[in-house]
Amino acid sequence: MKIKKIIFFCIVLISCKSDTTKTFYPDGNLKSIAEMKNGILHGAYQSYYPSGELKSSGVYYQGKLHGTVEHFYESAKLEQREEWKNGVLDGYTEQYFENGQLAVKTFYQTGVHVGDRYIYYKSGQFSERQTFDSLGNLIYIFKRDQQGSKTISHALPIFRINRDTISVNDTLNISLNFGYEISGVLNLQIQEFGPNNLLKENTLTIDKFSSEILLRNIFEEPGQYRIKLITRHEPEVGDTISVDGWFKEINLFVTSERGLDKLY
């Protein structure tokens, strides 16, 4: 009887120390292994391809990714490296081609793209730079072809409206801010659709890109409206920056009650 009690005590003790969980493929090969604490992921984590090659590795802290996470091709070459903090991307994320060349480099701040994202061709040549503002809005794109002789740049506007529900005879404010000083002339085409399809169309010419554009519109009838904005840019000769072709659709409901302020 004494021996049985000792054996039982050892089994319980070993079970209490076990904080590792594993999953398996149908053929029995290991799929993932992770450290646990109080029933949640806490510690090292690895996943594997059916072939047994390492697929990804990282660390969890109280159920959230924290620190460096790496993903691998089945050839064991690094595919992506990320920096996490309390479950959100925070720091540089780097993606690689299987030949080892850097494909994309992005910086995140508390889960939001900020600053510049660099994109490369498989050969290692620079392909594209995308610039984000502090809120994660993509505001500028610079591209280069593989010959290095052609550049195409797009300054994308930051778009805001003050509400998505307004009252009859209320004023809707629409603002566009390109964030860059751009030469040439911008034609902003405005199409307004109401319950009975297209109501009116207007074209506004703007020649100052560094200031905010404010459009005011008053709706006389309640119902569902849709507004479409389209940019037509005529840059100066030799200018490599264009905003031509950007468009945005706004869905708006006009009611008898005043709406709440809202930014997009």
| Between 225 and 125, residue with greater pLDDT | 125
pLDDT tens digits, 185-229: 778 888 888 777 777 788 877 755 545 566 666 677 788 888 888
Highest average pLDDT, of 36-40, 92-96, 151-155, comes from 92-96
* Cα–Cα separations (whole angstroms), residue 75 to 51, 58, 100, 208: 10, 19, 11, 53
How does the average pLDDT of the chain come out, rounded?
A: 80
CATH of 159-255, one of 2.60.40.10, 2.40.50.140, 3.40.50.2300, 1.10.3710.10: 2.60.40.10
Q: Residue 37 pLDDT more than 50?
A: yes
pTM of the model: 0.64
pLDDT band at 240 (very low <50, low <70, confident <90, very high): low
Q: Which of 157, 192, 187, 190 is nearest to 175 (CA)?
A: 157
Structure-block tokens of residue 181: 């000083």
**For residue 26, pLDDT beyond 70:** yes
Please give the average per-residue pLDDT across 108-119, as a whole number.
94
Q: What is the 3-state secondary structure (H, E, C) of the chain?
A: CHHHHHHHHHHHHHHHHCCEEEEECCCCCEEEEEEEECCEEEEEEEEECCCCCEEEEEEEECCEECEEEEEECCCCCEEEEEEEECCEECEEEEEECCCCCEEEEEEEECCEECEEEEEECCCCCEEEEEEECCCCCEEEEEEECCCCCCEEEEECCEEEECCCEEECCCEEEEEEECCCCCCCEEEEEEEEEECCEEEEEEEEEECCCCCCEEEEEECCCCEEEEEEEEEEEECCCCCCEECCCCEEEEEEEEECCCCCCCCC
Cβ density class 192-213: b for 16+ within 10 Å, e for less: bbbeeeeeeeeeeeeeebeeeb
Model pLDDT, residue 201:
82
Q: Which residue has the higher pLDDT, 200 or 36?
A: 36
